[in-house]
Amino acid sequence: MQHFEPLLPGNFYHIYNHAVGERDLFREPDNYEYFLDLYDKHISPIADTYAWVLMPNHFHLLVRIKEELEVEVPTPDRVLNPVRGNVSQQFSKLFNSYAQAFNKRFGLRGALFERPFKRKPIDSDEYLKQIILYIHNNPVHHGFCSHPVEYPWSSYLTCVSIKPTRLEREAVIGWFDNEANFKYMHDNKIEIEKIEKWLEL
């Protein structure tokens, strides 16, 4: 089994995974919504989210694991601080909860997500910008739309919105200097294969 380092507080990670075999992770709009609800429940307390995309058979996330003092403890009876404990378990809870509900909904059995889930530490500002462009252009690359603005299940629309959000929108726009340049960079044709090679995916 492939070994992965633990997710460390204060660090940025590109987290991604695929469905097992030829399975889909999402079949209906309600599936995407339910996954996002579970994500908010399990991941928002222990990580800040900067970009995400949900594709029918895979997903990509850009997160920063919170420092201990930043962690939101949703219930007073929680004994284990998630950052002191195994942060990966929070992601496992998300995936397991979703898989159980998905299998029940469609009368399926067996594993839904590949294990372990993939994670790559991010150690440069350029990587942060490239991974955001990569995540938001994933639906374009796979032929679901011609521009990220047309795809409903990514953080692009949130980035160009003014609605309240948990997404770290101001930080993301700041990495591109301003919203105009953020849009400009996303308007340019992205060569996904070159970015994948550069990101070592």
Kindly give the interhelix angle for 87-106 and 29-42, rounded to the nearest 10 degrees: 150
For residue 26, pLDDT beyond 90? yes
Whether the CB-CB separation of 15 and 117 falls below 8 Å is answered with yes
* Alpha carbons 44 and 27: distance in angstroms, whole number: 24
pLDDT class for 113, splitting at 50, 70, 90? very high
* Alpha carbons 116 and 3: distance in angstroms, whole number: 8
pTM attached to this predicted model: 0.89
Cβ burial of 63 (10 Å; 0-12, 13-18, 19+) is buried
pLDDT class for 164, splitting at 50, 70, 90? very high
Say if domain 12-199 classifies as CATH 3.30.70.1290: yes
- Find the Cα–Cα–Cα–Cα dihedral 79, 82, 85, 88, rounded to 10°: 140
Q: End-to-end distance of the chain based on CA atoms, in angstroms?
A: 18
139-150 pLDDT per residue, tens: 999 999 999 999
Q: Give Cα 49 distance to the centre of its chain.
A: 7
For residue 104, pLDDT beyond 70? yes
For residue 74, pLDDT beyond 80? no
pLDDT class for 54, splitting at 50, 70, 90? very high
Q: Give domain limits for the chain.
A: 12-199
pLDDT of residue 1: 39
pLDDT of residue 134: 94
169-196 pLDDT per residue, tens: 999 999 999 999 999 999 987 777 777 7
